């Protein structure tokens, strides 16, 4: 699914066809943020009849996003003050709990945002939202737990699918569901830690997974819907973020069974991580990379990650949103602008 303005890596399309040819696969849908992954593309939904494929979900089971409206007033906004107060949440709150309360590396983040435009005032009011306060967006998953589950599975079964009625499939599903609960709670815990540091509170607007498996009925056929980097269009409001230097959009989904009731989960990568530093290091200093064209700031003590997650490495979020609008999948509720993005303060 893409408009004429949406660029998609050819390798991602090849991987999508590879996945479509897996045994028992009925339907695959590539979202406008489709990009290459480890053998299977990210930004897609996959429907199989009788087999489940843990490798399609990947190692970060339950990775997703949650959004809160905070009590931080926009009228008194001081980015300097927020940057000093936000603190360090790189360390887990307890030992032996798979890094509970931490964001993780890669493209995970916590971000304070402000409403820059309201598109649907009725829906904005219906959800009791306010453009006078900052919002907090948390993107994280099941941390070490999901990784351990996939490693255990691959060590025993490799990449092959599991018959839905088999004991092995039931064992995986039980672990998968536990990881979903952990990921959901982890995003809440991250938010609570940040609220404590910033001396504020917040009201949760949404908390959804992007990497998960569920039993569904697709056009009269029972089967298994695998989402790998895709937002569900059946769980209320969805936040679709751009890069740290681009807008995010709060949207109201319009479910479409033909597209497996799924939406894009973000902008999608344009450059591979290994290429980013070489492309940008001679053009921009680290300090320059920690400021955005929209006036936002980034907290990231990992120099390599600063470049790997650069806005230039991602597609334009507007092209992704345009694709879904043209397909009649979303109503845009509001546009949000990043103010302060937390990646890492340099902890382990």
How far the first Cα of the chain sits from its last, in Å, is 39
88: three-class secondary structure by DSSP? coil
> Which residue out of 35, 139, 176, 265 is catalytically annotated?
265
Alpha-carbon distance 206 to 232, whole Å?
12
Alpha-carbon distance 80 to 296, whole Å?
11
Tens-binned pLDDT, residue by residue, of the chain (348 aa): 888 888 899 999 999 999 999 999 999 999 999 999 989 999 999 999 999 999 999 999 999 999 999 999 999 899 999 999 999 999 999 877 889 999 999 999 999 999 999 999 999 999 999 999 999 999 999 998 999 999 999 999 999 999 999 999 999 999 999 999 999 999 999 999 999 999 999 999 999 999 999 999 988 899 999 999 999 999 899 999 999 999 999 999 997 878 999 999 999 998 898 899 899 988 999 999 999 999 999 999 999 999 999 999 999 999 999 999 999 999 999 999 999 999 999 865
CB 137 within 8 A of CB 113: yes
39 — phi, psi (to 5°)?
Answer: 90, -35
Tell the CATH topology of 10-344: tRNA-splicing ligase RtcB (3.90.1860)
105: three-class secondary structure by DSSP? coil
10 Å CB burial of residue 1 (0-12, 13-18, 19+) is: buried
265 is an active site residue: yes
Alpha-carbon distance 156 to 324, whole Å?
39
Count of positions (residues) in the chain = 348
Give the CA distances from residue 277 to residues 3, 289, 344, in Å, rounded to whole numbers and listed in that order. 29, 11, 18
Alpha-carbon distance 76 to 45, whole Å?
42
Alpha-carbon distance 188 to 182, whole Å?
10
The encoded tokens of residue 319 equal: 């092209």
The encoded tokens of residue 248 equal: 């995010």
Q: For the chain, which residues make up each domain, given as ranges?
A: 10-344
Backbone φ/ψ region at 41: left (φ over 0), alpha (ψ -120 to 50), beta: beta
Alpha-carbon distance 147 to 30, whole Å?
24
């Amino acid at each position: 699914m893409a408009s004429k303005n949406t660029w998609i890596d050819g390798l991602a399309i090849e991987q999508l066809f590879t996945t479509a040819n897996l045994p028992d696969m009925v339907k695959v849908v590539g979202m406008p943020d489709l990009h290459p992954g480890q053998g299977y593309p990210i930004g897609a939904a996959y429907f199989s009849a009788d087999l489940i494929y843990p490798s399609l979900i990947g190692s970060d089971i339950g990775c997703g996003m949650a959004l809160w409206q905070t009590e931080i007033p926009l009228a008194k906004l001081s980015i300097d003050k927020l940057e000093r107060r936000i603190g360090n949440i790189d360390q887990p709150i307890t030992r032996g709990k798979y890094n509970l309360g931490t964001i993780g590396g890669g493209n995970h983040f916590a971000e304070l945002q402000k409403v820059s435009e309201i598109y649907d005032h009725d829906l904005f009011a219906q959800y009791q939202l306010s453009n006078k306060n900052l919002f907090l967006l948390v993107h994280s998953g099941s941390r070490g737990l999901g990784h351990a589950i996939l490693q255990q599975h691959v060590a025993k079964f490799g990449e092959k699918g599991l018959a839905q009625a088999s004991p092995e499939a039931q064992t995986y599903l039980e672990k998968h569901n536990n990881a979903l609960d952990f990921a959901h709670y982890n995003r809440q815990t991250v938010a609570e830690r940040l609220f404590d540091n910033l001396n504020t509170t917040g009201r949760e607007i949404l908390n959804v997974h992007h990497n998960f498996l569920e039993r569904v009925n697709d056009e009269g056929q029972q089967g298994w819907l695998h989402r790998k980097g895709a937002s569900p269009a059946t769980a209320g409001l969805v936040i679709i973020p751009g890069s740290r230097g681009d807008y995010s959009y709060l949207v109201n989904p319009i479910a479409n069974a033909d597209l497996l009731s799924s939406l894009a989960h973000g902008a999608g990568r344009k450059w591979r991580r290994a290429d980013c530093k070489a492309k940008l290091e001679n053009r921009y200093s680290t300090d320059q990379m920690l400021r955005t064209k929209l006036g936002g700031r980034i907290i990231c003590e990992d120099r390599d990650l600063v470049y790997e997650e650069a806005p230039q490495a991602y597609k334009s979020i507007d092209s992704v949103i345009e694709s879904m609008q043209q397909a009649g999948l979303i109503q845009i509720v509001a546009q949000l602008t990043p103010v302060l993005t937390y990646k890492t303060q340099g902890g382990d």
